[in-house]
Structure 1
Amino acid sequence: MITKNILLFTILSFSLAFSAFAEVYRIVDEEGKITYTDTPPHDAPTKEKVHLPAANIQPALKTAPMVEAVEEEVDGYQEITILAPTQDTTIPPGQETVAVQVGLKPTLKAGHLIQLLFNGQSYGLPTATTSFSIGSLVRGEHSVQIQVIDTEGNVIGLSNTATIHVKRGSAQH
């Protein structure tokens, strides 16, 4: 499977690299129809070589480093951390929800539950899952945090806090 992916990536990389150097021709036929081609025309009534501008290449976005996990062992948990979203993640306009992924080391123990905190308030009910979805996001800065709760309802562990920034369109723009 990995070999297939590497081969596909290599083929696509070469095809994109060579297509950037291909020449483009503009042909206008007797009826005035315009056609663009990479094959030099021999019998076209009107032909001209098209000079394309340089490709618009954008640098890759830098990813934020993962926020350090709480390292002290809390009631048997060596690590309670928010894997996603990372610290200072920006939620673009149009994205209505954000997925929250929790990392626990070791895995969640029997009877323990996870409570998602959104802006310091409980979001939903405690659950045994490590994946959450926060919806109806409003513009601004928000915090996400995780609590691990024991069988008696006591908070026995707390994750790092991840800050997210929600962008929304404005009526003025």
Structure 2
Amino acid sequence: MRPFFMLLLLSLVFPVMAQIYRYVDADGNTGYSNQPPDGVEAHPIELPQLNRAESQLSGEPQPSARASSPEQPRTTYEVLKITGLPTTEALRANDGTFTVNVLIKPRLQGAHRLRLWLDDQPYGQSGNVPVLQLVNIDRGQHRLAVQVIDGDEVVQQSPTVTFTVQRVHKR
């Protein structure tokens, strides 16, 4: 059992190298195969190396992209705004729960997260989904924005949207 396990591990260490052949069949169709077909002239194809990882030999850590140069422009989003909120009439939410959508272009990048900013305070947990839910929001007028954050750092903030929540009081 042990030799089999070692053989299996060794097979994972060595990259798999397969030759690809190009050929033209009797009907004039071009085909590709990992084995040259019988009775047809096949030519081997040189494929470029697909993946390559450079190992870091020195004991010093490489600088992160953030710390590389202070002059480097920050990544910003062309479009970042909240949609799905009525601004000319009250939002009816009897229990104060509703969702908002975030329109963001291009897509959220890397470790960036979305965080709501309700009435000048962070609201809820940050996430990477552009549909965000607010729960048990009091009736009245509120201000809402969305921030793109990277850790604790604010990358960009949307324009603030002012809206009114209407809750019906049941007796």
- Scaled by the length of structure 2, the TM-score of the pair is 0.51
Listed one character per residue, the Cα deviations across residues 98-119 of structure 1 (whole Å, up to 9, x for unaligned) are: 2110011101001101111111
CA distance in 2 between counterparts of 1:138 and 1:154 reads 29
CA distance in 1 between counterparts of 2:74 and 2:98 reads 27
Which amino acid in 2 is paired with 1:137?
A: I
CA distance in 2 between counterparts of 1:116 and 1:131 reads 11
Bigger CA radius of gyration: 2
CA distance in 1 between counterparts of 2:160 and 2:105 reads 17
| Shift, 1:87, TM fit | 2.9
Q: Helix, strand or coil for the counterpart of 1:164? A: strand
Relative to 1, partners in 2 of residues 1:124 and 1:93: Cα closer, same or farther, differing over 3 Å? closer
| Shift, 1:129, TM fit | 1.2
CA distance in 2 between counterparts of 1:123 and 1:104 reads 19
Specify every segment of 5 or more residues in structure 1 that has no aligned partner in the other structure, as ranges: 1-72
Partner residue, 2:140 = 140
Listed one character per residue, the Cα deviations across residues 44-75 of structure 1 (whole Å, up to 9, x for unaligned) are: xxxxxxxxxxxxxxxxxxxxxxxxxxxxx962
Partner residue, 2:157 = 158
CA distance in 1 between counterparts of 2:89 and 2:147 reads 21
The 8 Å contact of residues 88 and 162 in structure 1, kept in 2 or not, is answered as: no
Aligned residues: 99
- Aligned identity (percent) is 26
| Shift, 1:88, TM fit | 4.1
Listed one character per residue, the Cα deviations across residues 137-156 of structure 1 (whole Å, up to 9, x for unaligned) are: 21110111001012x42101
Relative to 1, partners in 2 of residues 1:93 and 1:102: Cα closer, same or farther, differing over 3 Å? closer
The answer to whether structure 1 residue 92 and structure 2 residue 92 are counterparts is yes
Partner residue, 1:13 = none
| Shift, 1:86, TM fit | 4.1
Partner residue, 1:104 = 104
Which amino acid in 2 is paired with 1:165?
A: T
Partner residue, 2:76 = 76
